[in-house]
Amino acid sequence: MLDFKELPEDGTAFEQLLREMFLAYEMAVHWTGKGPDHGRDLMVVEKLSGRLADSTRTWLVQCKHYAHSGKTVGRNDIASLIDDCKQAGATGYLLACSTMPSAGLVTKLAELSAQPQNDLVARSWDHVEIERRRWTANYGASFVILACRVGGEPPSLQDCSLVIDSLFGIIKKREDREWWDQEDVRPRLIYWDDKHGQLRVYADYLVPDADEPLLSPLDFVRALGEGTAKAVNDRYFPPCDYFIRPKLCAKTSDHYHRDHPDYYRAFENGEPSDGTSIVELAEYRGNRWR
C-alpha cells in the first residue's frame, strides 16, 4: 500500500503525484504551484469523444493532503468550489485527497452535479482510488509507468531507482557526434510481478534513423545482468527481465520528443502481451534486434 505520509506535509509533492497521473492519461495539465491560488491546484483538460464532434472539458483539481493528521476533508474545506470553477472556466471539479472525503462532502458534490444551473461535473478521489489507479513516476528527467500484476503495491521505489540508473548508464555520450546523432535509452514501464516476485522492465532504445544500433542485445545483457536475483548495496534485488525496443527516430523533427506519448501507447492497459527479453534475443535469436 502507498504510504502518503511519506510525502511532505506541505502538499506540493502530492500535487505533483496527481499531475503525473494525468500526464499518463495524456491530458493537458497546468500546475499552479505554491502560493495563493484560490484553491486551484491543478487545471486538467480532458478530451471527450462524441458521435457528431469531439470536445474538451476543463477540470479544476483540488488536492487535499491530510495524511499526516488523518483528517477527513469536510464540506467547509471546499466551500467556494462553484466560484473557483467559474473563475477558472472549468466545468469539471475533482477533489483528490490523501485521506477520505466526509459523507457530507460526498453528498454535497453529488447535489452540485445534479443541479443543471451549475453546469458542473463534480467528483472525488480518496486515497484508495488514487492508489487503485496506475502509478507513475518522474525520475531523473524521465517519465515511467509503474504497474503490478495482482496486489495493490507498486514496485519498490528503491528497486525502480536502481533499474533506471542502470538503464541511463548504458549509453555513453559520443563526443564526435552532435546531440541529434546520439543514442538514448528511455524507461517506459516497470512491472512488478508480485505473484512470482520478479520485475519486468520495458524501455526504448532510441537510435538516429540514419544509423544502425551501436549496441546489440548481448551488450544490454552484459550491462544489466541476466535476470537473476542479486544483492545490491546489502539489500535484496529481485530477478529482473528487460524488454528493450529499438526505435529509429528523427531527433530534428518537430514531432520528436524522447518521451512522446506515442511511445507509451503499448502500455495503456498495463504490460503488453508480446515481447522478447534481451536474454532471449541474445541467446536464442542470433543476438539480433527483431
pTM above 0.75, yes or no: no
Q: How many helices (H) and strands (E) does the chain have?
A: 7, 12
Of 40-49, 132-141, 149-158, the range with the highest mean pLDDT is 40-49
Strands (E), the chain: 28-31, 42-48, 55-64, 92-97, 121-125, 135-139, 142-148, 184-193, 198-208, 230-232, 235-237, 240-249
If you compute the radius of gyration of the chain from its CA atoms, what whole number of angstroms results?
Answer: 22
Enumerate the domain spans of the chain.
4-131, 134-284
With cut-offs at 50, 70 and 90, classify the pLDDT of residue 261. Answer: confident
pLDDT tens per residue across span 219-248: 999 999 888 877 777 778 889 999 999 999
Distances (CA, A) of 108 to 73, 76, 78, 166: 12, 11, 10, 49
CA–CA separation, 41 vs 229, rounded Å?
Answer: 42
CB 241 within 8 A of CB 284: no
Specify the fold of 4-131: Trna Endonuclease; Chain: A, domain 1 (3.40.1350)
Domain 134-284 has CATH 3.30.70: yes
pLDDT tens per residue across span 160-203: 888 888 898 898 777 777 777 889 999 999 998 888 889 999 99
Residue 115 scores a pLDDT above 80: yes
All 3 cell numbers of residue 206? 532510441
